[in-house]
Amino acid sequence: MKTMQKRLNAAAVLCLMLFISATANAASKFDGSSNLICATFDITACVDGVTCAKGQARTFDMPEFLTVNFKKKSIHADYDGGKTADSPFKNFQSTDSQLIMQGVENDHGWTMAISKKTGRMSVSSVGEEVSFTMFGACMAL
pLDDT band at 15 (very low <50, low <70, confident <90, very high): very low
Domain ranges of the chain: 1-29, 31-140
pTM over 0.85: no
Sign of CA dihedral 55, 59, 64, 66: negative
Share of the chain above pLDDT 70, in %: 80
**Buried residues in 46-73 as b, exposed as e (16+ CB within 10 A):** eeeeeeeeeeebeebebbbbbbbebeee
Judge whether residue 30 has pLDDT over 90: no
pLDDT band at 24 (very low <50, low <70, confident <90, very high): very low
Sign of CA dihedral 115, 116, 117, 120: positive
Determine the topology of domain 31-140 in CATH. Answer: Lipocalin (2.40.128)
pLDDT band at 74 (very low <50, low <70, confident <90, very high): very high
Query: What pLDDT is recorded for position 134?
Result: 95
